[in-house]
Amino acid sequence: MRNPPSRIVVATRESALALWQARHVESRLQALYPSVGTRLLGMTTEGDRRLGASLAALGGKGLFVKELEQALADRRADIAVHSMKDMPVQLSAGFLIAAITAREDPRDAFVSNRYRDLGELPAGARVGTSSLRRESQIRARYPRLDVQPLRGNVHTRLRRLDEGRFDALILAAAGLKRLGLEARITRVLDTQESLPAVGQGALGIECRAERADVAALLAPLDDPDTRWCVEAERALSRALGGSCTTPLGGHAHLEGGRVRLRGFVAAPDGSRIVYDEAVADRASAPEELGRILADKLAVRGARDILAGLEAQKS
């Protein structure tokens, strides 16, 4: 590119996984632009500070994003690296996701030191997860299990498993693989068993909307197929009013020249859960596919489930 910036400051959370993600992006930029200097700006977000409460109780995954966006707004950083599953579906005004990199494994992983899969766990077995999405699916399929909230970084969660506080964990396969912990995965869960979170496995690189120079710098890192799928998933969540307080999943994948998007909405206790899917040509708009599936889920009862969740909040 012509006249790239002389230096790029990368805002990132300071967890081991977030730092891996930021360094991955940093290394790709250095390979593309050897003359451009890079520096990481590590930050602790509100979501990182308040580990004693569930994300749903705190108000959602935006808690992992706002400090990084403030660093962009204050011009202390040029870009911020996020897990796309942590990004609110409504992007803050004045910002854009300039690149979504090629997706890692989007599936959930079953991790246990004693058992081979969820179906083998005995009644009352303790399963740790930070996600209402995972919790609702486990409760719907395995009501005999004791699903408990578990937050913290990946190493902290694994340590609690090793200490015997839990019989199994459900974690994102991508995070374990990126941290070199793939050997801890007992079994990767098929998407039919645990439908992933919207954007899971994909990294997004955010910048200020006015920074056309930065957006151009990031353009080679954007993977068009991953972006199409993630945008369809985010459109689904947006159309349903999804947030961290909503047990909702969505996963799109390419099938030749077409894209299949599957989604679900559930009550947190798994007592009600609705699934459906929709297919569109790759040449169409991803937002339209997301809206089509949202309408199909609404017909099956998703709106009633969501209205019930809203009533519980008020």
> How far is residue 115 from each of residues 20, 155, 177, measured CA to CA in Å?
29, 20, 20
Q: Does residue 312 contact residue 304 with C-beta atoms inside 8 Å?
A: no
Nearest to 132 by CA among 77, 184, 56: 56
Provide the pLDDT for residue 22: 98
Q: At 60, is the secondary structure helix, strand, or coil?
A: coil
pTM assigned to the model? 0.92
Domain boundaries along the sequence of the chain: 7-102+201-222, 108-188, 232-313
Tokens of 37: 């200097």
CB under 8 Å to 49, separation ≥6 — which residues? Answer: none
Provide the pLDDT for residue 240: 92
182: DSSP letter: G
Q: Does residue 150 contact residue 166 with C-beta atoms inside 8 Å?
A: yes
Verify whether residue 222 is a known catalytic residue: no
Q: Tokens 């309408």 belong to which residue? A: 295
Provide the pLDDT for residue 56: 52
Q: What is the pLDDT of residues 52-87, one digit of tens each?
A: 545 555 455 566 799 999 999 999 999 999 999 999
Marked catalytic residue, from 48, 74, 78, 86: 86
Domains 108-188 and 232-313 share a fold: no
The CATH number of 7-102+201-222, from 2.60.120.560, 3.30.70.100, 3.40.190.10, 3.90.180.10, is 3.40.190.10
Tokens of 121: 């766990």
Tokens of 307: 């209205």
CATH class in words for 108-188? alpha beta
Provide the pLDDT for residue 245: 73
Enumerate residue ranges in the chain where pLDDT < 70. 1-2, 46-63, 243-244, 313-314
The CATH architecture one would assign to domain 232-313 is 2-Layer Sandwich (3.30)
Provide the pLDDT for residue 64: 75
Helical ranges in the chain per DSSP H: 16-32, 46-49, 55-58, 66-73, 132-141, 154-162, 173-178, 212-218, 224-240, 286-300, 302-313
Provide the pLDDT for residue 233: 98
Provide the pLDDT for residue 276: 98
79-83 and 7-13 beta bridge pairing: parallel
